[in-house]
Structure 1
Amino acid sequence: MQGVTAFDPAKDIPDLTGKVILVTGGTAGLGATSVRAFAAQNPSHIYFTGRNVSAANALISEIKAKHPTAALTFIEMDLSSLQSVKQGVLTGFKHDHLEILINNAGIIAKPQGLSTDGYEIQFATNHLGHAMLTQQLLPYLLTATQTPGADVRVVTVSSDGYAAHRGIKGGISFTELDSGSTMSRTVLGPWVRYGQSKLANILFASELARRYPNITSVSIHPGVVETPMNTEMRGFNKKFVSITTWLGGIKWMKPEQGVLNQLWCAAGAKKEVLKNGGFYRPVGVDDWETLTKEARDGELAKKLLDWTESVLDNF
């Protein structure tokens, strides 16, 4: 399917005057690159989250040197802790509206482990943390939909690695998640667990679109990008990625290239062009129909969000 043949954020993202933006994982990689791109287009305010305060301060200084009037706020937040996410929003978000939310942060191929809340660590960070964040910000997203000509978007960064969910019967193992299992798998365990969390990103975005049609919610695959999350892999995981990308004829991208798909979905594309609930590959390719049956399963998406809300209600 034909995508966008040329997209230059500096030229093709319209003026963002009056818009409030929040990007998770904004201190490095695609998150920081997104913040830089948005700052050049005169938004009202940019919030970005992360755990590295010194990296956040350095990014703010860098951006303000180029755009002195840019308004930026760093919210320190650990996405693997639901209380940290909730507290971060309560104390750090100061506006009454939000037009663009990019659920960008994530971890990949981690050893077995549980979050502080007792959930498999990749699922907790990649899905539950972003679900809590979106829930806490939902009133501000909905407020923004009430303005004339409203264009409110939530972009959730998934991955083609979601397909590793095939190592889990049904795609999402709610029983293991509820039991506090670290979800051991004999074959490619870290990748199977990663795949489950990235499948959850796709299901979450599609169900959010169904429940709140006034908010444009999509999920995306950015490509294989030279971000710290990928380049700092070691041992088997590093070899596994190198071999699979080579066999697939996949070229690694710099962050400035890898960020294009999420920027296009968040602000570059006209609202009418985006398919609410859709899944996009670089750049601007609506590839929903190629997803696995689990990723396109509306009942599974509903079950996931219902289950997720029951978890969040405990915090």
Structure 2
Amino acid sequence: MPRFNPLTDIPDLAGRVCLVTGASSGLGEQTVAQIAQHNPAKIYLAARNRGRAEAAMKRIKATFPAAATSAIEILDLDLASFESIKAAAFRVNKEVDRLDILQLNGGIAVTPHASTQDGYEIQFGTNYLGHALLTQLLMPKLLATTRLPDADVRIVSMSSVGHKSFSAKDGLLFDQLKSDIKTTSGSRLYGQAMLSKALFAFELAKRYPQITSSSLHPGTVKTRVWSGDKDFNPILRYLVINPLVLLSGVSVKEGAKTQLWCSFGKDVRNGAYYEPVGKVGKESALARDAELSRKLWDWTETELKTHGAPGWPEK
């Protein structure tokens, strides 16, 4: 198992540009904080709520002296809204001439049944489909960066061990994704979204081998992900999940190490799924199903085109 110390193992990032989604709290905030200490040209702290994003930036600069002068910029981004995603991508493409690290960190877990602004099941739409659109719109910038000297472009997709324990045995509910799927449990829908994130990294690696794409489970981390209203078996939640997080959960500083390792580690395999820290080969068989990943890719491209997306660029 690789050892990874963000303070010493993240290289000097002079001239590099990074973007982290879901960065107003938890693992996203910690990821921005760690990157900010290594002299990047710019870090986009992407979040849905600007007030929370501003509070996160203040905490980072107050807590980490090396990040106090870092070029952190808030990027308004609601992953449940295609219009918001398009606006965010337009801004990034206009402002910077490169993009080195794209951290697809943001997301929701086992929320009550609902749909995104564009009519997709809320967990799938927020965790996976919104990130797929963002990645597609930023792909020309990512590809341009791969052609620069000493380029090391990476896309890191936050998944979960839930892709194994909660997802359906037969994969994805393609015929129901454009609804709130009230007949399916919130935990299964969460597993479906996390499986989609793993499949996305797997397929990205095949289609864009010049970019290192990976997915991960961060471990059991003490974040707010299990707070609030949840569509989850209350017995399991209060007698199993909550005690597990309380007793064995790690801090966000420790929990962010796997996604940071995927961003900067030396031995990251393209398309691989990792568990803390750098453990490979722990994914489900479905997460390595080439036919399923291709079907998800094709389905995604078709859906995004109906909303005016340009399609995936040539590699």
TM-score, structure 2 normalization: 0.89
Between the aligned partners of 2:207 and 2:7, the Cα distance in structure 1 is 33
SS of the residue 1:58 aligns to: helix
* Aligned position for 2:250: 253
Q: Which residue of structure 2 lines up, in the alignment, with residue 151 of structure 1? A: 152
CA RMSD of aligned residues (A): 2.2
Give SS of 1:228's match: coil
Contact 2:222-2:246 at 8 Å conserved across structures: no
- Structure 1, unpaired ranges of 5+: none
Distance 2:234 2:15 in 1: 43
User: What SS does structure 2 have at the residue aligned with 1:230?
Assistant: coil
Q: Deviations over 1:181-234 (max 9, x none)?
A: 322346xx0000000000000000000010000000000000111111124466
**Structure 2 vs 1, CA of residues 156 and 166 (structure 1 numbering), >3 Å: closer, same or farther?**
closer
Structure 1 residue 183 corresponds to structure 2 residue 175: no
Asked whether 1:55 is paired with 2:49, we answer no
Q: Which amino acid aligns with 1:131?
A: A
1:98 Cα offset (Å):
0.5
2:206 aligned with 1:214? no
Question: Structure 2: how far apart are the matches of 1:236 and 1:203?
Answer: 24
CA shift for structure 1 position 59: 2.7
Find the residue that maps to 2:133 and give its secondary structure. Answer: helix
Does the alignment pair 1:306 with 2:295?
no
Identity of aligned residues (%): 43
1:281 paired residue number: 275
SS at match of 1:32: helix
Name which of structure 1's ranges 243-252 and 26-35 shifts more when overlaid on structure 2: 243-252
Once the two structures are TM-superposed, the CA of residue 35 in structure 1 deviates from its matched residue by 0.4
Write the deviation string for residues 139-188 of structure 1: whole angstroms up to 9, x where unpaired. Answer: 11101100122111000000001124543x621111112xx3322346xx
State the Cα distance separating 1:133 from its structure 2 match: 0.7
Q: Which residue of 2 aligns with 1:200?
A: 196
Deviates most, 157-166 or 296-305: 157-166
CA distance in structure 1 between the aligned counterparts of 2:197 and 2:139, rounded to whole angstroms: 17
Structure 1 distance, partners of 2:181, 2:59, is 41
Q: Is the 8 A contact 1:165 1:171 kept in 2?
A: no
Per-residue CA distance 1:105-141 (angstroms, 9 max, x = gap):
0100011111111110000000000001101110111
Q: What secondary structure does 2:149 align onto?
A: coil
Equivalent position SS for 2:73: strand
Question: What TM-score do you get using the length of structure 1 for normalisation?
Answer: 0.89
Give the conservation status (yes or no) of the 8 Å contact 2:186–2:231: no
Residue 283 of structure 2 aligns with which residue?
A: 291
1:314, distance to aligned residue in structure 2 (A) = 2.1
Following superposition, the deviation at residue 235 of structure 1 comes to: 8.6
Structure-1 separation of matches of 2:224 and 2:84: 23
